[in-house]
């Protein structure tokens, strides 16, 4: 039962993060995307050298990148209409 509660909480956090991203401008989103990609690179480097402590952060960063790309695509489609 605890796993279900955790999954619901995670989905709620993701939905909240997505709504916060929608309020940002495309330039702000691109800046955030660049910093997340740099962080992902650093995390991959740490993993390769055996220094990575929080492996879950890699997944979170990857999902944040996807979330930002989704919002940017939606904003571009909205602007095209």
pLDDT tens-digit map of 61-77: 999 999 999 999 999 99
Residues contacting residue 40 through CB under 8 Å, at least 6 positions apart: 58, 61, 62, 65
pLDDT per position as a tens digit, 38-51: 999 999 999 999 99
Whether 49 is in a domain gets the answer yes
Read off the CATH number of the domain in which 63 is found.
1.10.287
Model-wide pTM > 0.85: no
Q: Which of 21, 25, 27 is nearest to 65 (CA)?
A: 21
Whether 54 is in a domain gets the answer yes
The pLDDT of residue 16: 74
Would you say 3 and 39 are in contact if contact means Cβ atoms under 8 Å apart? no
Whether 46 is in a domain gets the answer yes
Whether 43 is in a domain gets the answer yes
Whether 16 is in a domain gets the answer no
Query: What domain range includes position 44?
Result: 27-81
Whether 73 is in a domain gets the answer yes
Domain count for the chain:
1
Residues contacting residue 22 through CB under 8 Å, at least 6 positions apart: 71, 74
Distance between CA atoms of 66 and 9, rounded to whole angstroms?
Answer: 19
Q: Which of 26, 27, 55 is nearest to 43 (CA)?
A: 55
The pLDDT of residue 30: 96
Whether 37 is in a domain gets the answer yes
pLDDT per position as a tens digit, 2-20: 566 555 555 666 777 888 9
Q: Using the predicted structure, report yes or no on whether residue 26 has a pLDDT greater than 80.
A: yes
């Amino acid at each position: 039962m605890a796993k279900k509660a955790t999954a619901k909480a995670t989905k709620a956090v993701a939905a909240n993060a997505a709504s916060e991203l929608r309020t940002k401008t495309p330039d702000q989103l691109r800046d955030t995307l660049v910093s997340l990609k740099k962080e992902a690179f650093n995390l991959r480097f740490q993993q390769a050298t055996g220094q990575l402590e929080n492996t879950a952060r890699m997944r979170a960063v990857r999902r944040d990148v996807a979330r930002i790309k989704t919002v940017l695509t939606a904003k571009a489609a909205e602007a095209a209409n």
